[in-house]
Amino acid sequence: MAYLFTSESVSEGHPDKVADQISDALIDNFLAFDIDSKVACETLVTTGQVVLAGEVRSKTYLDVQKIARDTINKIGYTKGEYMFDGNSCGVLSAIHEQSEEINQGVDRGNKEEQGAGDQGMMFGYATNETENFMPLALDLSHRILIELAELRRENKDITYLRPDSKSQVTIEYSDDNIPQRIDAIVVSTQHDDFADDDAMLAKIRKDIVDILIPRVVANLPKNIQELFNDDITYHINPTGKFVIGGPHGDTGLTGRKIIVDTYGGKGAHGGGAFSGKDPSKVDRSAAYATRHIAKNLVAAGVADEILVQVSYAIGVAEPMGIFVNTYGTCPFNLTDGEIAEKVSQIFDMRPFAIEERLKLRTPMYSETAAYGHMGRKNETVSKTFSQPNGETKTLDVELFTWEKLDYVNKVKEAFNL
């Protein structure tokens, strides 16, 4: 019997994502001037106010207020009528020194023996149902909001958009887990005030269906385009008016969108958030590493769908174990346990090895903080950072290194594919 599966996304202007982006902007600035920085930074945003808190061990000094304001302005909160804007909001910093007791479990004389920054389990997932090896419902949800943000910045075809928005896509699957059609799409977007609420709702619905969705579909592979049809149920701003939004409409906190950040409910999640954490925190680095493993395994043909789990004890370099679930999609005679054993031989999962393999001690994190940490484009960009003393630094930074298919040949060799 066919079944439905749903995933959601939220925009860069969603209050929780505003908080994530501020936290990750701080990470990038610390790493730009001191690659050994240890940072765990949380952000709270609400009406006219930003609160920064956390622990830092670094040789550099930053103007955290300016970094927060620049991030807010870049997102698009630049008007006083939003009741939250980068130029006028208050910024309170309660960041302090990292505990020596935590640090002693991480730092080692031999960097290769660096301990895990915390205990816990992390998951990576990949599926061959999309070109970027991501679950289709989540991939489409992200694409809808990325295109909506582009329309907002263009301010041409749609001129009333504000930064806060959410999307959701429901897909019908066959019994053998093949996407059959798009069943429903939900888009809720913040907007300027209209004189007539009924006219407003009709206008927004027409623009989303006739302008936004065709732009999204045009950039999809043909096999995914064919899943769109005239029978899709659209829920556009289903609660009605959405003028009050962003941090004024709802308080935002770092780390509250972990399912949006990962696989949209497919696979599994260990519970640890990513943003605001330097790569010594395995909540972040090991989640990226397991995604890298899962993607390369699926791309190599080990299975159509794979979940990888790794777990750690705080202060211990070697992982407690590696688990693999291929959901019965492995085409040859190997158990999931045998696959996990081979994975542990191919991929060094000690925290320092992960940092080195994925180049995680570079300021690559701001780009991860909206529209998902997984399934994104691996590319190199130029980024410039500045300190309060006027010193600037321009770096070429490789983004989303865990999305590279650089281990496919090694996997094929190990599995005799």
| Binding residue numbers | 14, 16, 42, 55, 98, 164-166, 241-242, 250, 256-257, 273, 277, 281
Residue numbers in the known binding site for Mg(2+) are 16
In one-letter notation, the amino acid at residue 350 is R
Distance of CA 122 to the CA centre of its chain: 15
Q: How far apart are CA 216 and CA 383, in angstroms?
A: 28
Distance of CA 335 to the CA centre of its chain: 31
Residue numbers in the known binding site for K(+) are 42
User: φ, ψ for residue 2 (rounded to 5)?
Assistant: -60, 155
Closest CA to 67 of 99, 30, 33, 96: 30
DSSP state of 388: T
What are the residues whose beta carbons fall under 8 Å from the beta carbon of 328, sequence distance 6 or more? none
Q: How far apart are CA 114 and CA 199, in angstroms?
A: 60
Q: What strands lie across the sheet with 179-191, from one edge to the other?
A: 3-10, 161-173, 179-191, 233-236
Q: Are the CB atoms for 379 and 399 separated by under 8 Å? A: yes
DSSP state of 117: S
Closest CA to 314 of 104, 128, 18: 104
3-state SS, one letter per residue, for 274-287 = CCCECCCCHHHHHH
Residue numbers in the known binding site for ATP are 14, 164-166, 241-242, 250, 256-257, 273, 277
412 class by beta-carbon count within 10 Å (0-12 exposed, 13-18 middle, 19+ buried): middle
What are the residues whose beta carbons fall under 8 Å from the beta carbon of 333, sequence distance 6 or more? none
Cα three-residue angle 300-301-303, rounded to 5 degrees: 125
